[in-house]
Chain A
């Protein structure tokens, strides 16, 4: 026993020494190694967010590859290549925060890309803030990320309260066109009880109030949602003019299926994540006809830049670069855009100093295949709107905002159940 104890003590001391030595040695000049700039990211490669985590990683990789293949990043007259160090955060916030510490302290990373999901971003942002490391993130949409006064956090995507707000505007427009008042519109809401969906709900409530619409149903769905029968029965009874739903992919899958099964005849239905849940291929074009789906980005939009060309060209390149994609998820497109923000900031700052880079990112004003990028003082992107697409004969066509619309919204929806 004595021996064992001594061994243990010796081992602990040795381990502590190794760790402290490692800590002392690593950060030296690891941010830029030779002609390579190192970015770091904790990303969900396993666990419940792994599907979208991998989409995001692919987006980062495509951005890095295209930038490296097209002259790299020019700082001080020299051309640098980009490289991203990834760690798998296993879809858990605590692990994400740990890994961010590790990237910064042990690997000496000075430039961060975001993780997947608002939850993980919330866990990592305090860490990057503590070490004053700028982070450009592409997958955390929660409005609450931008009310904390973070100085080093920037997001290229539209925040969550905008997701379904545009559907309220569209309902008001349609009401006016049909000679009714927007305040006559009855809205039914079904939102999952999680931070993201409640943010989406806040946006809808704000806009509905602005038009004086009446909210007739306000249900909050449980996390392990697989049955919406009672909510949809209420919809049948109260006959709202607009039904809005948000509950990630599972919410979209459950809703789309049960709306068809229970033959819900609401003239306008909007829900988040229809694309991620693949509702059209799962439940058929007839059953999902007319459902409105918000998206951060669509390959049919006329956005463009010099590196990737148009949104459609990005779409084609992505499909060629990664196998198994029929549609390019917006999660991947916005991840690529985050890498482009870094390149732009390095070149404008013409420096590797993280303070100078933070200021350069804050001054970003660029057009990309993903849309305009310009950050508010809070760090969210205010140059790019959410777009609303409608399922029309099995295709997703952009119907709002009008500036980007490729088709007219069909109203009332005419599903074939």
Chain B
């Protein structure tokens, strides 16, 4: 471990390498986590199928490459496909669990996650798939960085900006925010909250789908890879807190960087442990902060 840390000091170029690579993938983590925060915050549904929707989006991209469509163009396609699918899932399942207690929604979305995994396995088989964009590698000095990672970050940023603008300015965006603040008051004021919920869930699915396209281009996808994306999204949202968009962005990029550094320093087997360890630290710090705050109020 100390050998690995000393490498980073002796040859700082590798520290920069890890930093850049981490930042470049952080954008994808932000997308999936933002979607989760949206559904969690607005509907109080903890969507355990989050990662599986990401993977589903990845398979849409893969299917597009089979049809000869470039995976970049698959991004809007996956967005639309997953939006429609998300709406359908809401109407069929989520609608019935929105008002129930937490465990009902956890169970329902867990079931959904299993369903997506097995359906993908039946259709595409268990081998890993890649939607190859064919952009090659970018050389900056001694650094070699896959160009697709830059493209991915750019696309993630564009998508994120669009969503933020939409939430701020559009009528539906305002309705979503109003519902998240107080669903009863929103209903009194004439907002069709059922429709808002449906739209929110569908939007989340669409964001996941887009993130999945990026995952399929940058890494690879397999029917059972959803879980790790779900875990990342939950970690980010938990660390950042609900309804804290800047927090989600910082936590997402931070997670990308920290995963790379901890993999380098402690070895790949401890990368996830290091990430969860960091989450524990963040939660402890928060707890103490709140504790102090409470004393002041008292």
CB-CB nearest in chain B for A228: B268
Q: Are A234 and B4 in contact (CB under 8 A)?
A: yes
Q: Are A233 and B18 in contact (CB under 8 A)?
A: yes
* Given A227-B25, A231-B263, A261-B146: A253 in contact with B128 (beta carbons within 8 A): yes
CB neighbours (8 Å) of B128 from chain A are: 226, 249-250, 253-254, 277
**Docked complex: B122-151 residues within 8 A CB-CB of A:** 122, 125-128, 130, 132, 137, 139, 144, 146
Q: How far is the CA of A220 from the CA of B266 in the complex (A)?
A: 10
Q: Are A227 and B14 in contact (CB under 8 A)?
A: no
At the interface, yes or no: A49 with Cβ under 8 Å from chain B? yes
Contact of B269 among A46, A221, A276, A417 (CB under 8 A): A221
CB neighbours (8 Å) of A190 from chain B are: 268
Q: Are B225 and A226 in contact (CB under 8 A)?
A: yes
CB neighbours (8 Å) of A257 from chain B are: 130, 220
Contact of A230 among B122, B130, B222, B263 (CB under 8 A): B263
Closest chain B CB from A266 CB (angstroms):
14
CB neighbours (8 Å) of A193 from chain B are: 269
Q: Are B267 and A233 in contact (CB under 8 A)?
A: no
CB neighbours (8 Å) of B263 from chain A are: 219, 229-231
- What's the tally of chain A residues with a CB closer than 8 Å to chain B? 38
Q: How far is the CA of A224 from the CA of B221 in the complex (A)?
A: 10
Closest chain A CB from B26 CB (angstroms):
12
Q: How far is the CA of A226 from the CA of B130 in the complex (A)?
A: 11
CB neighbours (8 Å) of B125 from chain A are: 50-51
At the interface, yes or no: B109 with Cβ under 8 Å from chain A? no
Q: Are A224 and B268 in contact (CB under 8 A)?
A: no
Q: Are A222 and B272 in contact (CB under 8 A)?
A: yes
CB-CB nearest in chain A for B7: A237
Q: Are B7 and A221 in contact (CB under 8 A)?
A: no
Q: Are B127 and A51 in contact (CB under 8 A)?
A: yes
* Given A49-B126, A51-B127: A237 in contact with B269 (beta carbons within 8 A): no
Q: Are B225 and A222 in contact (CB under 8 A)?
A: no
Bitwise interface map of B from 220 to 248 toward A, beta carbon under 8 Å scored 1, else 0? 11111101100000000000000000000
Closest chain A CB from B287 CB (angstroms):
29
CB neighbours (8 Å) of A249 from chain B are: 127-128
At the interface, yes or no: B17 with Cβ under 8 Å from chain A? yes
At the interface, yes or no: A210 with Cβ under 8 Å from chain B? no
CB neighbours (8 Å) of A28 from chain B are: none
CB neighbours (8 Å) of B127 from chain A are: 51, 249-250, 276-277
Q: Are B137 and A263 in contact (CB under 8 A)?
A: yes
* Given A48-B121, A50-B126, A253-B130: A219 in contact with B267 (beta carbons within 8 A): yes
Q: Are B126 and A236 in contact (CB under 8 A)?
A: no
Q: Are B264 and A224 in contact (CB under 8 A)?
A: no
At the interface, yes or no: B271 with Cβ under 8 Å from chain A? yes
Q: How far is the CA of A49 from the CA of B127 in the complex (A)?
A: 9
At the interface, yes or no: B193 with Cβ under 8 Å from chain A? no
CB-CB nearest in chain A for B216: A226
Q: Are B14 and A226 in contact (CB under 8 A)?
A: no
CB neighbours (8 Å) of B228 from chain A are: 222, 224, 226
At the interface, yes or no: B219 with Cβ under 8 Å from chain A? yes
At the interface, yes or no: A47 with Cβ under 8 Å from chain B? yes
Q: How far is the CA of A224 from the CA of B229 in the complex (A)?
A: 10
At the interface, yes or no: B189 with Cβ under 8 Å from chain A? no
Closest chain A CB from B179 CB (angstroms):
35
Q: Are A229 and B14 in contact (CB under 8 A)?
A: no
At the interface, yes or no: A238 with Cβ under 8 Å from chain B? yes
Closest chain B CB from A222 CB (angstroms):
6
Q: Are A238 and B7 in contact (CB under 8 A)?
A: yes
At the interface, yes or no: A218 with Cβ under 8 Å from chain B? yes
CB neighbours (8 Å) of B18 from chain A are: 229-230, 233
Q: Are B220 and A220 in contact (CB under 8 A)?
A: no
Interface centre among A231, A261, A276 (most CB of B within 10 A): A261
CB-CB nearest in chain B for A264: B144
At the interface, yes or no: B158 with Cβ under 8 Å from chain A? no
At the interface, yes or no: A180 with Cβ under 8 Å from chain B? no
Q: Are A48 and B260 in contact (CB under 8 A)?
A: no
Q: Are B126 and A220 in contact (CB under 8 A)?
A: no
Bitwise interface map of A from 249 to 278 toward B, beta carbon under 8 Å scored 1, else 0? 110011001001111000000000000110
At the interface, yes or no: A176 with Cβ under 8 Å from chain B? no
CB neighbours (8 Å) of A282 from chain B are: 130, 132
Q: Are A220 and B268 in contact (CB under 8 A)?
A: yes
Known contacts A48-B126, A190-B268, A254-B220; 20 further A-B pairs (Cβ under 8 A): A48-B223, A219-B268, A222-B228, A224-B224, A224-B227, A226-B220, A227-B219, A229-B18, A230-B18, A230-B271, A231-B263, A233-B260, A236-B17, A237-B7, A237-B14, A250-B222, A262-B146, A263-B137, A277-B128, A282-B130
* Pairs A–B under 8 Å by Cβ, sample size 19: A48-B224, A50-B121, A50-B125, A51-B126, A219-B269, A220-B269, A221-B268, A226-B219, A226-B228, A228-B268, A230-B260, A237-B11, A238-B7, A254-B220, A262-B146, A263-B139, A263-B144, A276-B127, A282-B130
List 10 A-B pairs, minimum CB-CB distance, nearest first.
A230-B263, A220-B269, A226-B219, A48-B126, A261-B146, A250-B128, A230-B264, A219-B268, A263-B144, A224-B228
